[in-house]
Amino acid sequence: MKLKSFLLAAILAFILPASLASAQLTDEDMALGGIRIGDTRAEVEEFYGNGNRYADGVEVWNGEDVGIHAIDYGASLHVTYRSTERGWHVISVHLGVGDVNEYLSKPSEDSQSLETPRGIHLDSTAEDLEEAYGYLPKPKCSNNAPPVCGYFYDGDTAQIAFYICAEHSPGIRSIWLHEK
């Protein structure tokens, strides 16, 4: 009987951490600076103003060509919208630097004030991620020098990624929330 209990305990010890590591975040966790996937452009502009459009385009979505707007709201905050029958809706929110060469710059105080519902912001560390979300996913690192590593958390309809370039800073330099 002791052997059976020991084997069961060993199996649980092996399976439980793996199942916790693959747990999905809730829809409430999928926000950045108060912006959620699916928010309307009017809802975002209520908090951040009109912003400056810096890119327009077309993308195929559900078999149709739809309009895309990318708007810069300052403080390193960029929001991408897709046109739907109900107007313009958020499909992506990016905060921070977008290129490894920009990693030498320090995030502004304004950009550091924007955070996720669990309090993660630019300059938070990998340890902060683990404390906030209960686990730290295995990073996916680029092959360039210096490498940039991304930590990806999934929700039902969105994913949030946190990017760290440890050679330049121990903290998060970029956060990207996007629809799946």
pLDDT (tens digit, 9 = 90+) per residue, 63-121?
Answer: 889 999 999 998 789 999 999 888 999 999 999 976 655 555 667 778 889 999 999 99
Lowest pLDDT segment from 1-15, 78-92, 124-138, 150-164: 1-15
Residue 95 tokens, joined: 């905060």
Tell me phi and psi for residue 138, to 5 degrees: -65, 130
Give the pLDDT confidence score for residue 98 in this predicted structure. Answer: 66
DSSP string, 11-78: HHHHHHHHHHHTPPPPGGG-EETTEETT-BHHHHHHHH-S-EEEEEEEEEETTEEEEEEEEE-STTEE
Is the CATH number 2.60.460 carried by domain 25-179?
A: yes
**Mean pLDDT in the chain?**
84
This prediction's pTM? 0.82
Q: How confident is the model at residue 6 (pLDDT cuts 50, 70, 90)?
A: very low
**pLDDT for residue 35:** 97
Residue ranges of the domains in the chain? 25-179
What pLDDT is stored for residue 10 in this prediction? 35
